[in-house]
Amino acid sequence: MSPSSSSVSPAAAVTTLADSFTLRKLQTWDRLAVETLCNESFPIQYPDCWYDEVVSGGLLSTGLFDGENLAAMIVSETKLLYDCNLEDQGIVQENVYVTYILSIAVNKKFRRLGLATRLLNNLMSSLTDHPPYPRAVFLHVLSTNSAALSFYRIHGFEFHASLPEYYRIGEVYADGCTYVKYINGSHAPVTFTDVCKSFGNTICMPLKAICKMLSF
């Protein structure tokens, strides 16, 4: 057997390692671990009621565990578009179900092992071609968080909108942005700019053809 056929690529090694962690729903006894992970991962402070929802089933919350230790988590909720905040209601054009990712966090000791990817892929698999067939998955992120922005772009999310002074970090306000991934046959809504471009192309194409003919 040649060395190339017996060796394991770095990407495959990371995938194998990520698969070795135990995946399960977060439970009430995980509350302290969840709070600790969030405090270490995010500059904003969540209220106590948010942690209660995360571990009590009020939100869809999944964790990856290294033995008894919480290594990573993802929290989301699926609801009708009109039940979302006003700034998010332009994501799609109809009052359909959408999924909002509230949080993805990975313990510093377990980063770059593919844990966030495994959690996100697990969520997307549960949403694609499954009731209630959400048409979009979206999230908010700090506009300065380049690592998170790169992660979401790699996984097919696209920029939707800027959110000026969306986050309050201590006494300072910071800008955020919305990223969206369309699923279950959906797509980004058609904007006025798109209509203008389409109309312009429709008008310009015949004119270009006529000008080309006249040039001969």
- Token couple for 97: 């179900």
Q: Tell which CATH architecture fits domain 11-214.
A: 3-Layer(aba) Sandwich (3.40)
Predicted pLDDT at 192:
45
How many Cβ atoms sit within 10 Å of the Cβ of residue 12? 10
Look up 46 and say whether it is catalytic. Answer: no
Predicted pLDDT at 173:
96
Look up 166 and say whether it is catalytic. Answer: no
**Structure confidence at residue 175 as a pLDDT band (50, 70, 90):** very high
pLDDT in tens, 19-71: 999 999 999 999 999 999 999 999 988 999 999 999 999 999 999 999 999 99
Catalytic residue among 140, 152, 167, 179: 140
Domain boundaries, the chain: 11-214
Contact assessment for residue 135 and residue 186, using Cβ atoms and an 8 Å cutoff: yes
Catalytic residue among 100, 152, 167, 182: 100
State pTM to two decimals.
0.83
